[in-house]
Amino acid sequence: MADVLKGKVVIVTGAGRGVGAEIAKLAAKEGAKVVVNDLGGSEGGEGQDIGPAQQVVAQIRAAGGEAIANGANVASWDDAKQLVAAALETFGDVDAVINNAGILRDVMFHKMSESDWDLVAAVNLKGCFNVARAAAPHFKEKQKGAFVHMTSTSGLIGNFGQVNYGASKMGVAGLSKCIALDMAKFGVRSNALAPFAWTRLVGTIPATPENAARLEVAQKMTPDKIAPFTVALVSDAAKDVSGQIFGVRRNEIILFSQPRPIRTVHTAEGWTPETCISTALPALRGSFFKLDRSNEVFTWDPV
């Protein structure tokens, strides 16, 4: 046993498989008591099965760690409160929440249904809010706490067929930053992390000529690579790190920029539609961003 998280209690959502499972196991190895949360549904959010969470708990216990399984649905306000309550009842404390739970329903925007939008937003964005909000009063009272929320380059940069997923994950970045601002005075920190990893969610993305290169790169990246930096972020050694957006891409750790003004135009007379067309847009056009996708920004192979 190592001790980076010795004595801490950590909630990891979506921890029955993939990235979440690897984070939960490493957190336990580093000394944390872990609540392994997973609804156990399909990649698209259907169904419920506590089995995957129980399997991760069994692995943690077999390695000498402490953990409990929890099947709460993070998209539910009441379930999220029950999740945090279960951690407090079992372990007496909560020190960190890692909001990893997510679903994927890839479809081109003009074909996207209301349910495709609502379900993805409910789990990926509202789920992060629900669990973080449920833990916030305890963190405030104890004057401590750390959040890590999983975002994605599908929102930070963009990808085909992921309007619902990208919007929810971009929302997670904003959620994390505003939590960091609101909770800083209580000693609570919040960061967002974009994981690059081959998971069952990524495996559902249709293999089309447009995304073939993206999927080929993704297959080289395993979920266990995400865990070390995630665990580090919720450790006391990172107590000065908050409000940031990171990425982990195999053995590469990335700090993302955040939107800031890059160019302005001004006129003392005020603008008209005509002067916006003749002056403002031409002045700004040189700084426009291209319609890049994630794989067009990350052009180098992960090693």
What pLDDT, on a 0 to 100 scale, did the predictor assign at position 216? Answer: 67
Helices and strands (H and E) in the chain: how many: 12, 8
Rounded distance between C-alpha atoms, residue 124 and residue 117, angstroms: 11
For the chain, which domains are there? Answer: 9-255 (3.40.50.720)
Rg (CA), the chain: 20
Choose among 296, 276, 231, 265: nearest CA to 10: 231
Choose among 120, 118, 85: nearest CA to 102: 120
Q: Which two tokens stand for residue 115?
A: 């349910």
Q: Which residues are catalytic?
A: 165
What pLDDT, on a 0 to 100 scale, did the predictor assign at position 46? Answer: 73
What pLDDT, on a 0 to 100 scale, did the predictor assign at position 221? Answer: 79
What pLDDT, on a 0 to 100 scale, did the predictor assign at position 302? Answer: 83
What pLDDT, on a 0 to 100 scale, did the predictor assign at position 105? Answer: 94
Spell out the per-residue pLDDT of the chain, length 303, in tens.
479 999 999 999 999 999 999 999 999 999 999 999 999 876 655 768 999 999 999 999 999 999 999 999 999 999 999 999 999 999 999 999 999 999 999 999 999 999 999 999 999 999 999 999 999 999 999 999 999 999 999 999 999 999 999 999 999 999 999 999 999 999 999 999 999 986 655 555 555 665 566 566 666 779 999 999 999 999 999 999 999 999 999 999 999 999 999 999 999 999 999 999 999 999 999 999 999 998 899 988 887
Rounded distance between C-alpha atoms, residue 191 and residue 5, angstroms: 17
Q: Is 95 in a helix, a strand, or coil? A: coil
What pLDDT, on a 0 to 100 scale, did the predictor assign at position 180? Answer: 98
